[in-house]
């Protein structure tokens, strides 16, 4: 693994039956780096980040997270999952559990933490995402922005070193996007290693250290926000930016 790399993909290939979703994808992410992944629908963005915590299994190449290579061995998957938190587009909260129970479920059952201890930690994270007063409500009683902040707090309760975000704001009404992005910006400021699939180009411009542009299962280009926005190398990137920035 390259020096300082916390995530390394080497020539990763992934097929869904005969559909080639990732084609020789290689990248290195360093500790504390904020990476935004963008690209047209179906380009493999979700697949790539889902492979990083083995929600999907790659078939060729290598994925190494903090020195552990992801393989079929359950131990490698468990080890990596302990270090990687994930936030999904649709929150993925358990509707029949309260907010607090959503946060404490995995720490109690997966980590074996004492209920009183994790409840205290969970309340700390709910305060951090500014919704401690919602702890005893059910997800259905919360706005989308609040539910997504619960999902972020839930991931943080597992004390991850790396956070993966898969379009965390795209299911939200516009007025709720900012409240979720603000929490993500705070995490970025605190030095969290973050990989975010998002079309929030303001966030990409101001927060990302690097931007990866994907199309048809490959990385077309990657570079700093300045390079990506002001001087993209590929015509595909220019077309994409033209479409996305005019909205």
Contact 200, 183 (CB under 8 A): no
Site size for ligand ATP (CB under 6 A): 11
Rounded to the nearest whole angstrom, what is the least distance from the CB of residue 229 to ligand ATP in the complex?
A: 20
Separation CA 36–CA 2 (nearest Å): 20
Torsion of CA 81, 85, 91, 92, to 10 degrees: 20
Specify the residue, 2 or 18, whose C-beta has the smaller distance to ligand ATP: 18
**Residues 10-69 interacting with ligand ATP (rule: CB under 6 A):** 16, 19, 21, 39, 41-47
Query: Which uninterrupted H or E stretch holds 229?
Result: helix 225-230
* Both tokens assigned to 60: 């060729």
Residues 87-126 that bind ligand ATP (CB under 6 A): none
**DSSP 8-state class, residue 142:** S
Instruction: Specify the pairing of strand 34-38 against strand 60-65.
Output: unpaired
Task: In angstroms, give the least distance from the CB of 107 to ligand ATP.
Answer: 29
Q: Does 168 bind ligand ATP (CB under 6 A)?
A: no
**Least CB distance to ligand ATP at residue 197 (A):** 6
Residues forming the site for ligand ATP (CB under 6 A): 16, 19, 21, 39, 41-47
């Amino acid at each position: 693994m390259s020096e300082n790399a916390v995530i390394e993909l080497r020539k990763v290939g992934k097929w869904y039956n005969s559909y080639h979703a990732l084609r020789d994808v290689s990248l290195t992410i360093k500790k504390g780096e904020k990476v935004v992944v963008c690209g047209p629908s179906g380009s493999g963005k979700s697949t790539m980040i889902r492979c990083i915590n083995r929600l999907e299994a790659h078939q060729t190449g290598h994925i190494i997270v903090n020195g552990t290579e992801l393989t079929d061995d359950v131990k490698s998957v468990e080890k990596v999952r302990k270090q990687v938190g994930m936030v999904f587009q649709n929150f993925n909260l358990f509707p029949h559990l309260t907010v607090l129970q959503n946060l404490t479920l995995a720490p109690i059952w997966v980590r074996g933490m004492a209920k009183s201890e994790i409840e205290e930690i969970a309340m700390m994270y709910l305060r951090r995402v500014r919704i401690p007063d919602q702890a005893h409500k059910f997800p259905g009683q919360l706005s989308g922005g609040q539910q997504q902040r619960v999902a972020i707090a839930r991931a943080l309760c597992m004390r991850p070193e790396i956070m993966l975000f898969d379009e965390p704001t795209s299911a939200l009404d516009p007025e709720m996007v900012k409240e979720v992005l603000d929490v993500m910006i705070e995490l970025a400021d605190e030095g969290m290693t973050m990989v975010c699939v998002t079309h929030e180009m303001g966030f990409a411009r101001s927060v990302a250290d690097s931007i990866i542009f994907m199309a048809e299962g490959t990385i077309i280009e990657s570079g700093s926000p300045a390079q990506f926005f002001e001087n993209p190398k590929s015509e595909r990137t220019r077309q994409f930016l033209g479409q996305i920035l005019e909205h």
